Amino acid sequence: MNDILVMKFGGTSMGSADRMCIAAQICADARKHSKVTIVVSAMSKITDLLLSTLRAAEEGDQEGVKENIRIIEARHVETCRELLPPDRQERVLATIRGLIEEFERISSGILMLAERPPRSVDEALAIGERLSAALMAACLESSGIAAIAINARDVVVTDSVFGNASPRMDLTSEKAAKLLLPRMGAGMIPVVTGFNGATVDNKPTTLGRGGSDFSASILASALNARELWIWTDVDGIMSADPRLVPDAAVLDIVTYREAAELAYNGAKVLHPRTIAPLVEKGIPVWSKNSFNLAAPGTKIVPHAEGVGPRAVTSMANVALISIEPASPAIQGTMLMGRVLESLGRANIEVLAFTSSSYRQSFCFLIRKDEVDAALDSLKAELALELAHEYVHPVEVNDNVGLLAVVGEGMAGHPGLAGRVFTAISAEQVNIIAIAQGSSELTISIVVRRDGLERAVKAVHAECKMGHSQ
């Protein structure tokens, strides 16, 4: 380990000239005791705008494309003018213009083709982060801190799963050592774009929506950083969604496994893939609020003490899909295998899975916006069985919600699950499906959508979450 600190600033922390100035102050402080690399997201809402522009281009909506590009350019130009003294603006404005032209070029290609090749989409989306990195580096420089904007395409090496790439850590570490270490050694802050990377043969990729957290953890690991600090607009990881549970509290500490589970089950504060690159080296992560510097934040560590559940998450936009063989000729295990494989091929994430009963029916939970893709894939996979009625028609119930009770301290403590279920039933909320793995880290509970809020509140109160730290 060494004294390197990697910090990531999310979209809201990059959201305006004022926010960038606060990020620069945070960097100035951090630099007093560490070498610093920062990773930045695109300014808030920009990735969405870039994406909808590409969609408009695919649909042939030339006017829509033009208007969106005007908005994107204006936002960055205005931020630049607010952020920098006049003598420093020209160079950055030229960079902004250049990046906007790059985006225009890709959009016109898509307009012409009426199609969005995944590679071009990844190249185009990364422009959001390249714009914010250019602004942020200039902001640091103008406050007297040597900085350089770096396109992660030159550092983060990934596989070629466009739109959801995974890092090649060995190659990334080599590049990080070559490109970032000497600069930090010379007292500079590299400002690396979050979200993007490139394949070994330099094709542009992205790491999935919200992937800048993942970029930051990849770089923290590649650089053997002492710590990773993720700056967002909330005080840390909470014991529940505060919009549902008013007395939800910020957790001081959570474990890697808990953080990953919470993220997978809908807690918005971290990208689910953030933790994996840090595990081997045990690098601690802090989730901090750039809008409230006095709040200590949540520390995410390899192991922590604690009995019972740490937090409860909830997801409303989910659907439960049930599959049931209609003939004894169908081998249940084979059927499950094929169903899961076809979902995997369609890149659909299964949030919970349960099977039971002698008829070998099973059900699983997925995100609502993936239902159509899942059904297409399943119907193609099971076409014969469905046509010959060996399998009952696939059932979809989207009037459901998921709550996940998470905590490493649940393992080996009988009675916790009972208390959770009793608390939910005391609210007259019917439980539709349950899944708990043998690690006892998470209990996933599917309830009717209209009971979700009451169930979350009841579980939070019953387990005294947020107070038991």
**Site residues for ligand ASP per CB under 6 A:** 11, 41-42, 47, 128, 194-195, 209-212
- CB nearer to Mg ion: pick between 192 and 365: 192
- CB nearer to Mg ion: pick between 11 and 204: 11
How many residues in the shown chain lie near Mg ion by CB under 5 A?
A: 4
What distance in Å separates the CA atoms of residue 175 and residue 389, rounded to the nearest whole number?
A: 55
Residue 195 binds which of Mg ion, ligand ASP, none (CB < 5-8 A, kind-dependent): ligand ASP
Residue type present at position 74: A
Residue 15 in contact with Mg ion, rule: CB under 5 A = no
Angle (nearest 5°) at CA 27 between 134 and 10: 60
* Binding segment (CB under 5 A) for Mg ion, from list 56-64, 204-212, 350-358, 372-380: 204-212
Residue 377 binds which of ligand ASP, Mg ion, none (CB < 5-8 A, kind-dependent): none
- CB nearer to ligand ASP: pick between 132 and 377: 132
Residue 209 binds which of Mg ion, ligand ASP, none (CB < 5-8 A, kind-dependent): ligand ASP
Distances (CA, A) of 60 to 63, 70, 120, 455: 9, 17, 16, 46
CA atoms within 13 A on the CB side of 15: 11
Give me the least distance between CB of 271 and ligand ASP, in Å please: 7
Residue 10 in contact with Mg ion, rule: CB under 5 A = yes
Distances (CA, A) of 360 to 146, 356, 443: 63, 6, 22
Give me the least distance between CB of 121 and ligand ASP, in Å please: 12
Query: Beta-strand (E) ranges in 293-430?
Result: 298-301, 311-323, 352-356, 361-367, 395-406
Cα end-to-end span (Å), the chain:
29
Give me the least distance between CB of 127 and ligand ASP, in Å please: 10
Give me the least distance between CB of 125 and ligand ASP, in Å please: 7
DSSP string, 55-80: HHHHTT-HHHHHHHHHHHHHHHHHHH
- Give the Cβ contact number of residue 372 at 10 Å: 10
- CB nearer to ligand ASP: pick between 89 and 212: 212
State which of residues 13, 41, 298, 342 lies at the interface with Mg ion (CB under 5 A).
41
CA atoms within 13 A on the CB side of 298: 26
- CB nearer to ligand ASP: pick between 42 and 80: 42
Residue 409 binds which of ligand ASP, Mg ion, none (CB < 5-8 A, kind-dependent): none
The structure tokens listed for 425 are: 């039933």
Binding site for Mg ion (CB under 5 A): 10-11, 41, 210
